[in-house]
Amino acid sequence: MDSALGSGPLHLRPRGYHANKIFLGDTKHIMSKKSRTIHKETFTTVFTGLLINYPLNLIGLFVCIDILKMTSAFHIGTTITAFMTCIAYTRVYLIRRYFYMEKH
C-alpha cells in the first residue's frame, strides 16, 4: 500500500522519493572524506579539552584556595579562566596544526 507521498504516477511523486523513503535531494547523503576529517578533528578537540580541563580546574582551585588563600569567587574564577584560556589556545593550536600537517 502506497503512502500519500508515494501514490500516483512516478512523474508526480516528490523529488527524492524512492522505495517509500524520502531523501534530501536525489541520492543518499554519504559522508565525504573532508567531513569525516572535520568530525575527527572536532572530536579530538572536545575530548582532549575534557581530559585536560577537568584536572586543570581542580588543580587551579587547589592552588587558588589552599595555596594562595584566595576567598573571592570572582578572583578565583577569573584567575582560573585566564590560565585555562592560555592552555586551551595552545591545545587547539597544536591539534589544528597536526590535522593540517596530516593533510599536506
Same domain, 24 and 71: no
43 and 94 share one domain = yes
Rounded to whole angstroms, the Cα distance separating 37 from 102 reads: 10
CA separation for the pair 75, 55 (Å, rounded): 19
Q: Are residues 54 and 15 part of one domain?
A: no
- Rounded Cα gap, residues 12 and 5, in angstroms: 9
Q: Note whether 1 and 17 are same-domain residues.
A: yes
DSSP code for 25: S
Q: Positive or negative CA dihedral for 60, 61, 65, 71? A: positive
pLDDT average, residue stretch 17-31: 56
Do 18 and 45 lie in one domain? The reply is: no
| Overall domain count for the chain | 2
Q: What are the tens digits of pLDDT across the range 46-71?
A: 999 999 999 999 999 999 999 999 99
Asked whether the whole model's pTM tops 0.75, one would answer no
Q: Which three cell numbers stand for residue 39?
A: 568530525
Q: How many residues does the chain have?
A: 104
Give residue 38's domain range. Answer: 31-103
